[in-house]
Amino acid sequence: MIFKDLLEKFSPILEKEFEKIFDNCIKNQAHIGDSIIWKENGFYQELFKDFTSEGKKFSPYVIGPGIEGISDMTHYDFINQYRHSNISNLTFEEYLKNVEYSSERQKEIDEIVQFESMSVQIEMLIYLKLWEADLMIKRLYNLTRIVNGEPFDWHFKILESSRDSVGTGTRQDIIRKKVRDKLRKRQPVLSDWITNAYKTQIRNSIAHSNYSISGRTISLNNYIKDDPASQMHGISFDEWHDIFHKSLLLHNQLIWLANKINDFYAAKYLQGEKIIIQTPKIDDYNNIHELTYREKYKIWSYKQ
């Protein structure tokens, strides 16, 4: 269940932080076009490396949704449907009073908690869609680079298995070491937010269905005594609601930031300013590209 008062409680903190992040993106970006590349999901397409058309070579550096973007659209539809159809009519405090022990209301309370349990398990799936999705991790990673003055990484790649030898890192290492830790100095609020919302043990427990629910408590069956990242025996539903609402708000703010960046560059383009991006320099490919914008569809592409 989604509690509007929890969203209203948490959102001003993250909204203020993302206003700062937008300013830092524009101010600190290594190249003047890195932020619009971030919004447009720049990536390296090996297939285009030796592709020619009418004697013209294509750059393997492309912008657009790609596979990860199309996948993200599917996840967004699911998340958005839940977000609109599962809002509680009660405040969080009112809801907690509704499930306080009462022998006279025990049957009613059991039914309420059973419904809450089902909602929590749907939210667990959404939690994975948020924290496992390639595009969200890529966006967090490159956003961290941009605010820290590092160039956009066109070659971002998540290591999927021990057989992978080349890549940016595993999902959890990217989130913890290359996003959360590297945001600590410049964007401490977002760094703390990720610390509170992203729990490796909870993620692993959900991904492997290695948990159980009793009453309003989630028992995590992957506690490991000597592993500092697996020290929780369980969490209450109250703790889960905190984690889930913060994860959902982060997802919302990344969408807001993408729209804000788009509007910033679109305004410049519509006023006659050239929008230029830079790709890595390889072989004889041109690494400076001018973009064109279709205002009706809010779509950017390379100018031909």
Q: What was the pLDDT predicted at 155?
A: 96
Classify burial at 224, counting beta carbons within 10 Å of its beta carbon; exposed 0-12, middle 13-18, buried 19 or more: exposed
What local confidence, expressed as pLDDT, does residue 47 receive?
73
Closest among 122, 133, 250, 253 to 197, alpha carbons compared: 250
Q: What is the structure's pLDDT at 264?
A: 98
Residue 282 CB neighbours (<10 A): 12
Report pLDDT digits (tens) over 144-178.
Answer: 999 999 999 999 999 987 677 789 999 999 999 99
Residue ranges covered by each domain of the chain:
4-302
pLDDT value for 281: 86
pLDDT for 26 equals: 98
pLDDT of residue 284: 65
Q: Give, in degrees to the nearest 5, the angle at Cα 203 between 197 and 204.
A: 155
| Degrees to nearest 5, angle at CA 251 with 245 and 255 | 140
Give the model's pLDDT for residue 43. 96
Stretches in the chain below the pLDDT threshold 50: none
- At 304 the pLDDT is 83
Buried b / exposed e over 23-56, threshold 16 CB at 10 Å, is ebbbebbeeebbbbbbbbbbbbeeeeeeeeeeee
Q: Are 268 and 276 in contact (CB under 8 A)?
A: no
* Mean pLDDT, the chain, whole residue set: 94
The sign of the torsion formed by the CA atoms of 79, 36, 135, 295 equals: positive
80's tokens: 């958005």
